[in-house]
A and B are shown apart, each in its own frame.
Chain A
Amino acid sequence: MKTSSAVKKTRSTSSSRSGKQRSGAHWIKLDAQGVYYKDLNRQIRSLALQGDRRFEIHNVFGQRYLGTNLWGIEGRDRIVIRVYGTPGSDMGAFMDGPRIEVFGNAQDATGNTMNCGQIAIHGSAGDVLGYGMRGGEIYVRDNVGYRVGIHMKEYRDKIPTVVIGGTMQDFFGEYMAGGRIIVLNKFFADNPPVRRSYFIGTGMHGGNIYVRGDVDLHQIGAEVGIASPTDAEWKIIEKYVHNFCKVFGLEENKAKLLKRHKFTRLYAKSSRPYGRLYAY
């Protein structure tokens, strides 16, 4: 692995702010071409520590762990990172507050064990998105890979939410303990296709999955129940569909997406799936 020299940096405004705490209102432009992820992330952290809040990173090409090291920074929930290119795996892993917007596709393990903040991907994401996610929001405009949303959890009002505009693959929402995932199943289609993904929600013991379109019994794990969204849940779905359209500028799709009867709710039949497994 190569370690490159310092990251090239330009400021969109050039007024001098040295010495005093920066307001963070302007965009910091960074060029990630050939920069090792460790150096890139360190530079973002050190700028954030000096008060910068808005970053535009160009030529991103596989750099991992964007947003992971931004902990313990006052006002980190105002940090925005715009990524142009293809970020590497574990983007936003453990992330606690910032917002990352990707103009391109993301790789695997996006939002791994994420705690707080927002990720928006104007494209598709790979496998294991949102593993063990504990809070915050992830929006993916297009499709996601396998093993997405495994073991998401929630605690009181901290409820992680994933919204996927396209389709999902197998092992979706396994061991889910909390949180919600909304799958719009090709947001642009009037009639969502039945997506042939399997082993959905195996071991699920909390949380909810809402799929636009039908899900057949043979696609889901034994611990999963099929129902329609309740009134309260429909409000939530409406809110997140609205957010989804807003984040990606897809407002014209809202009307066709918000057809309640088309949504299938997948839920955990029990919060104690292993209760009857043992002899004492």
Chain B
Amino acid sequence: MLTSLLPEFTVDRSEDRCIQCRVCERQCSFDVFGYDGENNVMVHREENCVACQRCSVLCPTNALVIRENQYTYRPNANWTREYIQDLKKQAETGGVLLTGMGCDKPHKIYWDHILINASQVTNPSIDPLREPMELRTHLGRKPDQLEMVDGKLVLPDYPNVEISTPIMFGAMSYGAISYNSFRCLARAAFEYGTMFNTGEGGWPMELRKYGKSTIVQCASGRFGLDLEYFNDAAVVEIKIGQGAKPGIGGHLPGEKVSEHISQTRMIPEGSDAISPAPHHDIYSIEDLHMLIHAIKEAVDYQKPVSVKISAVHNAPAIASGMVRAGADIIVLDGLRGGTGAAPKILRDNVGIPIELALAAVDTRLRNEGIRNWASLVVSGGIRNSADIFKAIALGADAVYIGTPALMALGCTVCQKCYTGKCAWGITTQDPYLTKRVNPEIGTQNLKNLLRAWSLEIKELLGCGGINSIESLRGNRLQLRGIGLESWELEALGIRGAGQ
């Protein structure tokens, strides 16, 4: 039967410029290009194009332009092209639609409705080039009060980890991303003095040397996880949920379970790696308490234990339970958080924006007097240093970045990670493609990004007359809302601009 799936993008090739070098054909992993030797021309299968821009960037004569397909169905505000095409795909296959990366729907982005304060006259601004500016952050439980014994400060033995900037790389497993990409994240975090997160795909032995910069995950699949794995890392994170797909598990398809991945995850080659939706040993806060303490026992109470949930409606109450259950770090992953693969319907409709969840959780923990029991890390929708600054002023201790880190490695957010064909060599295990991430350059780019954003955060701190990130934390007076309704201002705990 004929269905009308319009190509989403068109490939414009300037025949004057094209020299039939066939670079595009080799670079495109979505099988768009072919070569017609008889007529010495390139041919296109435009319906396969995902606009990853790999071909146009690599074309030596700039002969290629990829643009949105102008052809359309009859315009309809209700039945957009996306909904029509999705429906047709499902009518043909009977399957759940998959997608990659974070929610791309125009839900309100609160960062863009928050403005930052600056000092004028009464409180001088600070020049970060001339004065020391502290970004160092410590993650872990903090004492309720300081204790002095014989004039000496007694520090309680809550394990904390230090990061040189409040930016960490979020969980992306080896399996979801390529080995080279994984390795770049590990090394860049180590060299910059921050953390990366292994996700739940295990942790290759040769990367254990970056242990002091590594957060390992214990998720419902429990892949590649043993006592050594915990003890080689700096932090252990229990993953309950992920912003892109709250409430469901994960699933690495058997095709991606290569020999090295099977070894790292400790499962047979070619078998599906399934992470069940919940941890079947955690059905309550009490159960979470039990697992947190099992891990604390396993690391002899020497490392902070983190618990990550997706930002959902009742996140504040859950967060309070998590903290009381012994989590030293809690992580909230918002609606726009990325993923290697998730059902589209979940990604786009489940969860709440991180800005609102963060403000609500921070407020709740403060009101309960337990905010210092755990550090608060947020992720899912951080796009630049101002977003980070705003997150910290709303109450976060640090952020995780995932998509931005992949972009530093080449990603163009084409959202096709779930196909395993990433033309930029990131979310693929195809050796022909994974070579495209150069470990040296990739590491350097990630470090550059950390440096650039850290410098900008210092500028933002300086213009507000603040010289330490500690003084920004939860300092919501630095923020004003614009274009927000009163309930939104209240949820964020900030005043409106001009107020």
Contact = CB atoms under 8 A, between A and B. Distances in A.
Contact of A69 (B94, B225, B263, B297): B297
A90 to B, nearest CB: 5
B294 A178 contact: no
Contact of A271 (B94, B221, B272, B294): B272
Given A177-B271, A272-B271, A278-B95, A134 B266 contact: yes
Interface string B115-144: 000000000000000000000000000000
Interface string B190-233: 00000000000000000000000000000011110111101100
Contacts of B95: 276-280
B98 A272 contact: no
Contacts of B291: 90, 112
Contact of A279 (B94, B266, B271, B272): B94
A274 B294 CA distance: 31
A141 B417 CA distance: 48
B290 A109 contact: yes
A74 to B, nearest CB: 14
Interface stretch (B274-282, B317-325, B350-358, B399-407): B274-282
B276 A151 contact: yes
B280 A151 contact: yes
A150 B276 CA distance: 10
B228 A71 contact: yes
A115 B293 contact: no
Nearest to B418: A280
A264 interface: no
A68 B236 CA distance: 15
Given A112-B294, A151-B280, A206-B268, A134 B274 contact: no
Nearest to B266: A155
A89 B268 contact: no
Contact of A178 (B93, B254, B268): B268
A45 interface: yes
Contacts of B268: 154-155, 178, 206, 271
Contacts of B247: none
A155 to B, nearest CB: 4
Given A134-B222, A155-B267, A205 B280 contact: no
B226 A177 contact: no
B290 A90 contact: yes
Interface residues of B, number: 45
B253 interface: yes
B364 interface: no
Contacts of A274: 251, 253, 272, 274
A246 B473 CA distance: 61
Contacts of B98: 278-280
B270 interface: yes
A247 to B, nearest CB: 24
Interface in B408-437: 418-419
B477 interface: no
A149 to B, nearest CB: 10
Contacts of A112: 281, 291, 294
Contacts of B294: 64-65, 68, 90, 93-94, 109, 112
B368 interface: no
B178 interface: no
Contacts of B274: 151, 175, 177, 203, 205, 273-274
B298 interface: yes
Contacts of A275: 253-254, 272
B297 A271 contact: no
Contacts of B23: none
Interface in B285-327: 290-291, 293-295, 297-298, 300-301
A205 B253 CA distance: 12
B281 A115 contact: no
Given A178-B267, A274-B272, A68 B222 contact: no
A151 B300 contact: no
A134 B228 CA distance: 14
B54 interface: no
Contact of B281 (A64, A128, A134, A205): A128
Given A94-B230, A115-B226, A279-B97, A177 B267 contact: yes
A271 B271 contact: yes
A147 B280 contact: yes
Contacts of A177: 267, 271, 274
A135 to B, nearest CB: 9
A38 B298 CA distance: 11
Nearest to B344: A279
Given A134-B226, A271-B272, A277 B298 contact: no
Contacts of A279: 89-90, 92-98
B149 to A, nearest CB: 20
Contact of B290 (A41, A64, A150, A271): A64
A113 interface: yes
Which one of B94, B96, B222 has the highest number of Cβ atoms from chain A below 10 Å of its Cβ?
B222
Contact of A128 (B221, B228, B231, B280): B280
Interface string A118-156: 000000000010011010000000000001001101110
Interface in A51-91: 64-65, 68-69, 71-72, 89-90
Given A131-B280, A178-B267, 19 more contacts: A37-B297, A64-B290, A72-B231, A93-B298, A94-B227, A94-B298, A96-B226, A109-B281, A115-B226, A134-B222, A153-B267, A155-B267, A175-B276, A205-B272, A206-B268, A277-B96, A278-B93, A279-B98, A280-B418
23 contacts: A38-B301, A41-B297, A72-B227, A94-B225, A94-B227, A96-B227, A113-B222, A131-B222, A131-B280, A132-B221, A151-B220, A155-B267, A155-B268, A174-B276, A175-B274, A203-B274, A272-B254, A272-B272, A274-B251, A278-B93, A278-B95, A278-B97, A279-B92
Sorted nearest first, the 8 A-B pairs with minimum C-beta distance are: A279-B95, A132-B222, A71-B227, A279-B93, A155-B266, A271-B271, A65-B297, A93-B294
